[in-house]
Structure 1
Amino acid sequence: MTQNAPTFDELFASCRDSAVHLEMRDVYDIDGEIEGFEKWRRSGHRDDWDDRDSWWLPFHQSVADATARGVLVRRARIVSMPVTEYIRYEHAGTPGNILAGEHVRWLPRRRATDLALPGNDFWLFDGRVTHVNHFTGDGRWLEEEITEDPELAELCSSAFEAVWERAVPHEEFAL
Protein backbone atom coordinates (compact mmCIF):
# COMPACT_ATOMS: atom_id res chain seq x y z
CA MET A 1 0.00 0.00 0.00
CA THR A 2 1.29 3.44 -0.84
CA GLN A 3 2.24 5.60 2.11
CA ASN A 4 -0.54 8.11 2.78
CA ALA A 5 -3.06 5.93 0.93
CA PRO A 6 -6.49 5.91 2.55
CA THR A 7 -7.52 2.91 4.59
CA PHE A 8 -10.33 0.64 3.47
CA ASP A 9 -12.62 2.20 6.09
CA GLU A 10 -11.73 5.69 4.83
CA LEU A 11 -12.44 4.64 1.24
CA PHE A 12 -15.85 3.32 2.24
CA ALA A 13 -16.62 6.41 4.32
CA SER A 14 -15.70 8.79 1.49
CA CYS A 15 -17.45 6.84 -1.26
CA ARG A 16 -20.25 8.85 -2.88
CA ASP A 17 -21.80 6.83 -5.73
CA SER A 18 -20.82 3.18 -5.88
CA ALA A 19 -18.83 0.47 -4.19
CA VAL A 20 -18.51 -2.87 -5.95
CA HIS A 21 -16.74 -5.97 -4.71
CA LEU A 22 -15.74 -9.00 -6.76
CA GLU A 23 -14.83 -12.19 -4.90
CA MET A 24 -13.34 -15.10 -6.81
CA ARG A 25 -12.00 -17.53 -4.18
CA ASP A 26 -13.64 -20.63 -2.75
CA VAL A 27 -12.17 -20.17 0.74
CA TYR A 28 -11.04 -17.19 2.81
CA ASP A 29 -9.34 -16.81 6.17
CA ILE A 30 -9.64 -13.08 6.79
CA ASP A 31 -9.13 -11.79 10.33
CA GLY A 32 -9.75 -15.21 11.82
CA GLU A 33 -12.86 -15.82 9.72
CA ILE A 34 -11.94 -19.49 9.68
CA GLU A 35 -12.77 -19.53 13.41
CA GLY A 36 -16.32 -18.39 12.63
CA PHE A 37 -16.50 -20.95 9.86
CA GLU A 38 -15.34 -23.74 12.18
CA LYS A 39 -17.95 -22.72 14.78
CA TRP A 40 -20.65 -22.76 12.08
CA ARG A 41 -19.41 -26.11 10.84
CA ARG A 42 -19.19 -27.80 14.26
CA SER A 43 -22.29 -26.46 15.90
CA GLY A 44 -24.52 -25.73 12.97
CA HIS A 45 -24.83 -22.19 14.44
CA ARG A 46 -26.98 -19.92 12.31
CA ASP A 47 -27.41 -16.23 12.88
CA ASP A 48 -30.74 -14.95 14.17
CA TRP A 49 -31.40 -12.16 11.66
CA ASP A 50 -34.04 -10.69 14.00
CA ASP A 51 -31.38 -10.25 16.73
CA ARG A 52 -29.20 -7.68 14.99
CA ASP A 53 -26.92 -7.20 18.01
CA SER A 54 -25.82 -10.83 17.75
CA TRP A 55 -24.34 -10.50 14.23
CA TRP A 56 -24.01 -6.82 13.28
CA LEU A 57 -20.35 -5.91 12.66
CA PRO A 58 -18.55 -2.61 11.96
CA PHE A 59 -18.47 -3.60 8.29
CA HIS A 60 -22.26 -3.87 8.23
CA GLN A 61 -22.45 -0.38 9.73
CA SER A 62 -20.11 0.95 7.02
CA VAL A 63 -22.40 -0.48 4.36
CA ALA A 64 -25.50 0.91 6.07
CA ASP A 65 -23.87 4.35 6.36
CA ALA A 66 -22.84 4.30 2.70
CA THR A 67 -26.26 3.24 1.44
CA ALA A 68 -27.88 5.94 3.61
CA ARG A 69 -25.73 8.44 1.66
CA GLY A 70 -27.09 7.00 -1.59
CA VAL A 71 -24.14 4.76 -2.43
CA LEU A 72 -25.04 1.63 -4.39
CA VAL A 73 -23.11 -1.26 -2.79
CA ARG A 74 -22.90 -4.47 -4.80
CA ARG A 75 -20.99 -7.72 -4.29
CA ALA A 76 -20.57 -10.52 -6.83
CA ARG A 77 -19.10 -13.90 -5.98
CA ILE A 78 -17.73 -16.33 -8.54
CA VAL A 79 -17.86 -19.82 -7.05
CA SER A 80 -16.97 -23.36 -8.04
CA MET A 81 -19.83 -25.84 -8.24
CA PRO A 82 -20.54 -27.82 -6.28
CA VAL A 83 -19.66 -25.16 -3.73
CA THR A 84 -17.15 -25.66 -0.95
CA GLU A 85 -18.33 -25.93 2.60
CA TYR A 86 -16.82 -22.49 3.19
CA ILE A 87 -19.02 -21.01 0.44
CA ARG A 88 -22.04 -22.62 2.14
CA TYR A 89 -20.98 -20.72 5.27
CA GLU A 90 -20.67 -17.45 3.30
CA HIS A 91 -24.06 -18.05 1.71
CA ALA A 92 -25.62 -18.61 5.15
CA GLY A 93 -24.13 -15.29 6.35
CA THR A 94 -25.08 -13.22 3.31
CA PRO A 95 -28.46 -12.10 4.71
CA GLY A 96 -26.43 -9.86 7.04
CA ASN A 97 -24.86 -8.13 4.04
CA ILE A 98 -28.29 -7.71 2.45
CA LEU A 99 -29.87 -6.37 5.65
CA ALA A 100 -27.03 -3.82 5.82
CA GLY A 101 -27.92 -2.65 2.30
CA GLU A 102 -25.68 -4.63 -0.06
CA HIS A 103 -26.94 -6.27 -3.23
CA VAL A 104 -25.33 -9.70 -3.63
CA ARG A 105 -25.19 -12.03 -6.61
CA TRP A 106 -23.52 -15.39 -7.26
CA LEU A 107 -22.02 -16.72 -10.49
CA PRO A 108 -21.04 -20.35 -10.96
CA ARG A 109 -17.42 -20.38 -12.18
CA ARG A 110 -18.41 -22.45 -15.25
CA ARG A 111 -20.45 -19.46 -16.48
CA ALA A 112 -17.43 -17.12 -16.15
CA THR A 113 -15.07 -18.97 -18.49
CA ASP A 114 -15.29 -16.44 -21.32
CA LEU A 115 -15.03 -13.35 -19.10
CA ALA A 116 -11.84 -11.30 -18.83
CA LEU A 117 -11.24 -11.07 -15.09
CA PRO A 118 -8.48 -9.48 -13.02
CA GLY A 119 -6.26 -11.92 -11.15
CA ASN A 120 -7.34 -10.79 -7.69
CA ASP A 121 -10.42 -9.91 -5.66
CA PHE A 122 -11.08 -6.20 -5.49
CA TRP A 123 -13.28 -3.37 -4.34
CA LEU A 124 -13.87 -0.47 -6.73
CA PHE A 125 -15.01 2.79 -5.18
CA ASP A 126 -16.83 5.38 -7.30
CA GLY A 127 -15.41 3.75 -10.43
CA ARG A 128 -11.96 5.21 -9.85
CA VAL A 129 -10.23 3.87 -6.71
CA THR A 130 -9.34 0.20 -6.80
CA HIS A 131 -8.64 -1.67 -3.56
CA VAL A 132 -7.00 -4.98 -4.52
CA ASN A 133 -6.77 -7.81 -1.99
CA HIS A 134 -3.91 -10.29 -2.26
CA PHE A 135 -4.31 -13.70 -0.62
CA THR A 136 -2.11 -16.72 -0.01
CA GLY A 137 -3.04 -20.00 -1.66
CA ASP A 138 -4.90 -21.17 1.45
CA GLY A 139 -7.01 -18.01 1.63
CA ARG A 140 -5.16 -15.96 4.23
CA TRP A 141 -5.13 -12.24 3.52
CA LEU A 142 -1.62 -11.15 2.57
CA GLU A 143 -1.76 -7.46 1.65
CA GLU A 144 -3.79 -4.76 -0.03
CA GLU A 145 -3.00 -2.50 -2.91
CA ILE A 146 -4.82 0.80 -3.42
CA THR A 147 -4.52 2.60 -6.71
CA GLU A 148 -6.22 5.23 -8.82
CA ASP A 149 -4.81 3.76 -12.04
CA PRO A 150 -7.59 4.50 -14.56
CA GLU A 151 -6.80 1.47 -16.72
CA LEU A 152 -7.09 -0.89 -13.76
CA ALA A 153 -10.30 0.81 -12.64
CA GLU A 154 -11.76 0.33 -16.14
CA LEU A 155 -10.72 -3.35 -16.23
CA CYS A 156 -12.25 -3.96 -12.80
CA SER A 157 -15.41 -2.06 -13.65
CA SER A 158 -16.01 -3.92 -16.91
CA ALA A 159 -15.20 -7.29 -15.27
CA PHE A 160 -17.56 -6.62 -12.40
CA GLU A 161 -20.40 -5.51 -14.68
CA ALA A 162 -19.95 -8.59 -16.89
CA VAL A 163 -20.13 -10.85 -13.84
CA TRP A 164 -23.07 -8.92 -12.36
CA GLU A 165 -25.06 -9.25 -15.58
CA ARG A 166 -24.75 -13.06 -15.54
CA ALA A 167 -24.89 -13.66 -11.82
CA VAL A 168 -27.90 -14.88 -9.87
CA PRO A 169 -29.39 -12.74 -7.07
CA HIS A 170 -28.70 -14.21 -3.63
CA GLU A 171 -32.36 -14.99 -3.01
CA GLU A 172 -32.49 -17.16 -6.14
CA PHE A 173 -29.10 -18.85 -5.92
CA ALA A 174 -29.33 -22.54 -5.07
CA LEU A 175 -26.28 -24.20 -3.58
Structure 2
Amino acid sequence: MSQSLTDFSSLIRSVRESAVHLEMRDGYGVDNEIEGFAAWKAGHRLDPDDRASWWLPWLDLVQEVTAKGVLIRRARIVSEPVSDYIAFEHSGTFTNVAAGEQIRWLPRRAASDLLLPGNDFWLFDGRLVQFNIFDGIGRWVHTDQTEDPAVAAQCAAAFEAVWERAIPHEKYTV
Protein backbone atom coordinates (compact mmCIF):
# COMPACT_ATOMS: atom_id res chain seq x y z
CA MET A 1 0.00 0.00 0.00
CA SER A 2 1.28 3.43 -0.86
CA GLN A 3 0.86 6.04 1.85
CA SER A 4 1.35 9.79 1.76
CA LEU A 5 2.42 11.89 4.70
CA THR A 6 -1.10 13.35 4.67
CA ASP A 7 -2.60 9.85 4.99
CA PHE A 8 -0.23 8.99 7.84
CA SER A 9 -0.97 12.30 9.57
CA SER A 10 -4.70 11.54 9.41
CA LEU A 11 -4.07 8.06 10.78
CA ILE A 12 -2.01 9.25 13.75
CA ARG A 13 -4.49 12.06 14.47
CA SER A 14 -7.20 9.39 14.78
CA VAL A 15 -5.33 7.62 17.61
CA ARG A 16 -7.08 7.87 20.96
CA GLU A 17 -4.62 6.34 23.45
CA SER A 18 -1.28 5.18 22.10
CA ALA A 19 1.00 4.79 19.13
CA VAL A 20 4.17 2.72 19.39
CA HIS A 21 6.88 2.44 16.77
CA LEU A 22 9.58 -0.23 16.59
CA GLU A 23 12.59 0.50 14.37
CA MET A 24 15.11 -2.27 13.74
CA ARG A 25 17.34 -1.11 10.88
CA ASP A 26 20.82 0.41 11.20
CA GLY A 27 20.22 2.69 8.24
CA TYR A 28 17.39 4.20 6.27
CA GLY A 29 17.51 5.87 2.88
CA VAL A 30 14.27 7.79 3.04
CA ASP A 31 14.06 10.82 0.77
CA ASN A 32 13.16 13.39 3.43
CA GLU A 33 16.33 12.64 5.45
CA ILE A 34 18.97 12.56 2.71
CA GLU A 35 19.85 16.27 2.92
CA GLY A 36 19.87 16.33 6.72
CA PHE A 37 22.06 13.23 6.91
CA ALA A 38 24.53 14.72 4.41
CA ALA A 39 24.62 17.98 6.39
CA TRP A 40 25.17 16.06 9.63
CA LYS A 41 28.04 14.11 8.06
CA ALA A 42 29.54 17.49 7.04
CA GLY A 43 29.41 18.65 10.68
CA HIS A 44 26.03 20.40 11.01
CA ARG A 45 24.23 19.84 14.31
CA LEU A 46 20.78 21.01 15.37
CA ASP A 47 20.75 23.78 17.96
CA PRO A 48 18.56 22.82 20.94
CA ASP A 49 17.83 26.52 21.55
CA ASP A 50 16.61 27.20 17.99
CA ARG A 51 13.33 25.31 17.66
CA ALA A 52 12.44 27.23 14.51
CA SER A 53 15.35 25.54 12.74
CA TRP A 54 14.16 22.01 13.55
CA TRP A 55 10.46 22.18 14.24
CA LEU A 56 9.41 20.15 11.23
CA PRO A 57 5.90 18.97 10.28
CA TRP A 58 6.45 15.62 12.04
CA LEU A 59 7.37 17.30 15.31
CA ASP A 60 4.37 19.62 15.08
CA LEU A 61 2.16 16.57 14.53
CA VAL A 62 3.66 14.74 17.53
CA GLN A 63 3.15 17.78 19.72
CA GLU A 64 -0.47 18.11 18.54
CA VAL A 65 -1.27 14.44 19.19
CA THR A 66 0.53 14.15 22.54
CA ALA A 67 -1.16 17.36 23.72
CA LYS A 68 -4.45 15.42 23.41
CA GLY A 69 -3.10 12.82 25.84
CA VAL A 70 -1.93 10.22 23.29
CA LEU A 71 1.20 8.36 24.38
CA ILE A 72 3.75 8.03 21.55
CA ARG A 73 6.67 5.71 22.20
CA ARG A 74 9.47 4.72 19.83
CA ALA A 75 12.04 1.99 20.41
CA ARG A 76 15.11 1.53 18.26
CA ILE A 77 17.13 -1.67 18.12
CA VAL A 78 20.68 -0.80 17.04
CA SER A 79 23.95 -2.54 16.35
CA GLU A 80 27.00 -1.36 18.27
CA PRO A 81 29.18 0.36 17.49
CA VAL A 82 26.41 2.32 15.84
CA SER A 83 26.33 3.16 12.14
CA ASP A 84 26.75 6.75 10.99
CA TYR A 85 23.04 6.83 10.29
CA ILE A 86 22.15 5.81 13.86
CA ALA A 87 24.59 8.41 15.24
CA PHE A 88 22.78 10.99 13.04
CA GLU A 89 19.40 9.82 14.35
CA HIS A 90 20.62 9.92 17.93
CA SER A 91 21.99 13.46 17.58
CA GLY A 92 18.58 14.77 16.50
CA THR A 93 16.34 12.68 18.75
CA PHE A 94 16.17 15.44 21.36
CA THR A 95 13.72 17.12 18.96
CA ASN A 96 11.35 14.13 19.10
CA VAL A 97 11.56 14.11 22.89
CA ALA A 98 10.86 17.86 23.01
CA ALA A 99 7.76 17.26 20.87
CA GLY A 100 6.44 14.64 23.30
CA GLU A 101 7.71 11.27 22.07
CA GLN A 102 9.28 8.86 24.50
CA ILE A 103 12.26 7.15 22.89
CA ARG A 104 14.46 4.27 23.98
CA TRP A 105 17.43 2.47 22.44
CA LEU A 106 18.19 -1.25 22.69
CA PRO A 107 21.60 -2.60 21.70
CA ARG A 108 20.98 -5.46 19.26
CA ARG A 109 23.03 -7.88 21.39
CA ALA A 110 20.40 -7.45 24.15
CA ALA A 111 17.58 -8.44 21.77
CA SER A 112 18.90 -11.83 20.66
CA ASP A 113 16.39 -13.83 22.68
CA LEU A 114 13.36 -11.70 21.74
CA LEU A 115 10.84 -12.75 19.14
CA LEU A 116 10.47 -9.81 16.78
CA PRO A 117 8.54 -9.26 13.55
CA GLY A 118 10.46 -9.10 10.29
CA ASN A 119 9.72 -5.43 9.65
CA ASP A 120 9.53 -2.13 11.48
CA PHE A 121 6.00 -1.29 12.56
CA TRP A 122 3.62 1.15 14.12
CA LEU A 123 0.88 -0.14 16.42
CA PHE A 124 -2.04 2.24 16.86
CA ASP A 125 -4.28 1.88 19.93
CA GLY A 126 -3.21 -1.74 20.26
CA ARG A 127 -5.35 -2.79 17.29
CA LEU A 128 -4.02 -1.53 13.95
CA VAL A 129 -0.54 -2.61 12.86
CA GLN A 130 1.23 -0.84 10.05
CA PHE A 131 4.37 -2.60 8.85
CA ASN A 132 6.85 -0.36 7.06
CA ILE A 133 8.54 -2.26 4.24
CA PHE A 134 12.01 -1.11 3.15
CA ASP A 135 14.31 -2.40 0.43
CA GLY A 136 17.83 -3.66 1.05
CA ILE A 137 19.37 -0.20 1.17
CA GLY A 138 16.72 1.29 3.44
CA ARG A 139 14.42 2.99 0.95
CA TRP A 140 10.75 2.90 1.89
CA VAL A 141 8.80 0.64 -0.47
CA HIS A 142 5.27 0.45 0.95
CA THR A 143 3.20 -0.27 4.04
CA ASP A 144 1.11 -3.29 4.96
CA GLN A 145 -1.70 -2.86 7.46
CA THR A 146 -3.63 -5.39 9.47
CA GLU A 147 -6.18 -5.35 12.27
CA ASP A 148 -5.76 -9.08 12.89
CA PRO A 149 -5.97 -9.30 16.71
CA ALA A 150 -3.31 -12.03 16.87
CA VAL A 151 -0.81 -9.97 14.86
CA ALA A 152 -1.58 -6.86 16.94
CA ALA A 153 -1.02 -8.84 20.15
CA GLN A 154 2.27 -10.25 18.86
CA CYS A 155 3.50 -6.80 17.87
CA ALA A 156 2.41 -5.34 21.21
CA ALA A 157 4.29 -8.09 23.07
CA ALA A 158 7.40 -7.59 20.94
CA PHE A 159 7.35 -3.83 21.49
CA GLU A 160 6.86 -4.13 25.25
CA ALA A 161 9.70 -6.68 25.52
CA VAL A 162 12.01 -4.28 23.71
CA TRP A 163 10.77 -1.27 25.71
CA GLU A 164 11.35 -3.07 29.01
CA ARG A 165 15.04 -3.65 28.19
CA ALA A 166 15.77 -0.49 26.23
CA ILE A 167 17.69 2.50 27.52
CA PRO A 168 15.90 5.88 27.71
CA HIS A 169 17.24 8.35 25.16
CA GLU A 170 18.72 10.69 27.75
CA LYS A 171 20.84 7.83 29.15
CA TYR A 172 21.95 6.23 25.87
CA THR A 173 25.19 7.43 24.34
CA VAL A 174 26.66 6.65 20.94
Q: TM-score, normalised by structure 2?
A: 0.95
Question: Which digits, 9 at most, give the CA deviation of each residue in 1:124-166, with x for residues without a partner?
Answer: 1100111110001101111111221111111110000000000
Conserved in 2, the CA contact under 8 Å of 1:77 and 1:107? yes
Q: What residue identity is the alignment partner of 1:152?
A: V
Q: Following superposition of structure 1 onto structure 2, how do residues 1-175 of structure 1 map, counting pairs within 5 Å?
A: 1=1, 7-42=7-42, 44-175=43-174
Q: 1:2 to 1:170 in 2, by over 3 A?
A: closer
Structure 1 window deviating more from structure 2 (24-33 vs 91-100): it is 24-33
Conserved in 2, the CA contact under 8 Å of 1:28 and 1:34? no
Cα root mean square deviation, aligned: 1.5
Aligned equivalents of 2:152 and 2:56: distance in 1?
28
Q: TM-score, normalised by structure 1?
A: 0.94
- The total of aligned residue pairs comes to 172
Aligned equivalents of 1:2 and 1:99: distance in 2?
29
Give the Å deviation of 1:2: 8.7
**% identical equivalent positions:** 61
Aligned equivalents of 2:50 and 2:31: distance in 1?
23
Structure 1 window deviating more from structure 2 (69-78 vs 140-149): it is 140-149
Aligned equivalents of 2:59 and 2:29: distance in 1?
18
Is the partner of 1:7 in helix, strand or coil?
A: helix
Stretches of structure 1 that go unaligned for 5 or more consecutive residues are none
Conserved in 2, the CA contact under 8 Å of 1:79 and 1:109? yes
